[in-house]
């Protein structure tokens, strides 16, 4: 399993979302919370993600599904979309 040095900052996530064209909602953050929401797309699938800017934890679900996953969903470590999501919100150890 890939290891990560740290979670990305709000500014880094905002830049990544802008580059990828993923919509980002920071209303909760602007109202004093520590999380943001964004849509993450991999192939034909879009996932709704709630991401903590404080600790890098996230929860999400595939749009149209009730199944929930999180930063702790180790059973998804081999899923390509999950690996891409991890790389989207965390900085790989070798890049730190």
Q: For residue range 5-20, what is the model confidence (pLDDT) as tens digits?
A: 999 999 999 999 999 9
Which structural domain range is residue 64 located in? 4-89
Is 84 among the domain residues?
yes
Is 66 among the domain residues?
yes
Is 95 among the domain residues?
no
Is 96 among the domain residues?
no
Alpha helices, DSSP H, located in 5-79: 10-20, 27-30
What does pTM read for this prediction?
Answer: 0.91
Number of domains in the chain: 1
pLDDT of residue 10: 98
């Amino acid at each position: 399993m890939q290891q990560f040095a740290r979670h990305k900052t709000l500014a880094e996530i905002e830049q990544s979302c802008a580059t990828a064209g993923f919509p980002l909602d920071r209303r909760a953050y602007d109202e004093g919370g520590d999380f943001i929401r964004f849509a993450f797309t991999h192939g034909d699938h879009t996932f709704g993600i709630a991401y903590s800017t404080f600790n890098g934890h996230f929860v999400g679900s595939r749009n149209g599904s009730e199944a929930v996953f999180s930063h702790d969903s180790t059973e998804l470590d081999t899923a390509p979309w999950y690996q891409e999501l991890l790389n989207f919100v965390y900085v790989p150890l070798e890049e730190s």
